[in-house]
Amino acid sequence: MADTEGFEEFYTATVGRLLGQLYPVTGDLHEAEEIVQEAYARASIRWARLRDYDLPEAWGRRVAMNLAADRGRRLQRQARALLRAGPPATVPPASVEALALAEALRALPMHQRQAIVLHHLVDLPLEEVAATLGARTGTVKSWLARGRRALADRLGEPEEVLS
């Protein structure tokens, strides 16, 4: 406990100021809160050393400002990459059937859902599905059978499920 002694008081006394300084820098309260949280997480790890600083708050402010600058640079790189990629392809609206299938798939256990998507929608052979999911082929067959039954129960008309 000695290594964290005084950290809670430091945090309580300074977090509001640091958040108030970061919010105008980021222009986004949620982002400012995340950055401040990360700065304090880093400070807590180094608290045994930081508590002896004349102004440990200044260290936290510098870390937070650096994190904000890093995020800003990352966002600029992402924006440039999106501009280079051009406008997204036009995606046709989802059909009622596709929405119903997506909803029914969400109700399945993850392993059944993954097996059905990989085998029936991506059209991978059973062996490749098994390798992708790290399971035996027989296990994948069982997941597929159970998943198809569950989908048929939810969607009705089994001959149309996954067609």
Same domain, yes or no: 19 and 66: yes
Q: What is the pLDDT of residues 115-149, one digit of tens each?
A: 999 999 899 999 999 999 999 999 999 999 999 99
Q: What is the pLDDT of residues 3-43, one digit of tens each?
A: 788 999 999 999 999 999 999 999 999 999 999 999 999 99
Alpha-carbon distance 22 to 30, whole Å? Answer: 10
Same domain, yes or no: 112 and 144: yes
Same domain, yes or no: 104 and 48: no
Q: What is the pLDDT of residues 75-87, one digit of tens each?
A: 999 999 999 998 8
Q: Give residue 35's domain range.
A: 2-85
Task: List, in sequence order, the alpha helices (H) in 27-136.
Answer: 29-45, 47-50, 56-85, 96-106, 110-116, 126-133
Same domain, yes or no: 69 and 132: no
* CATH number for position 113: 1.10.10.10
* Chain centre distance of CA 114: 18
Better pLDDT: 160 or 136: 136
160 pLDDT above the threshold of 80:
no
> Does the residue 61 lie in any domain?
yes
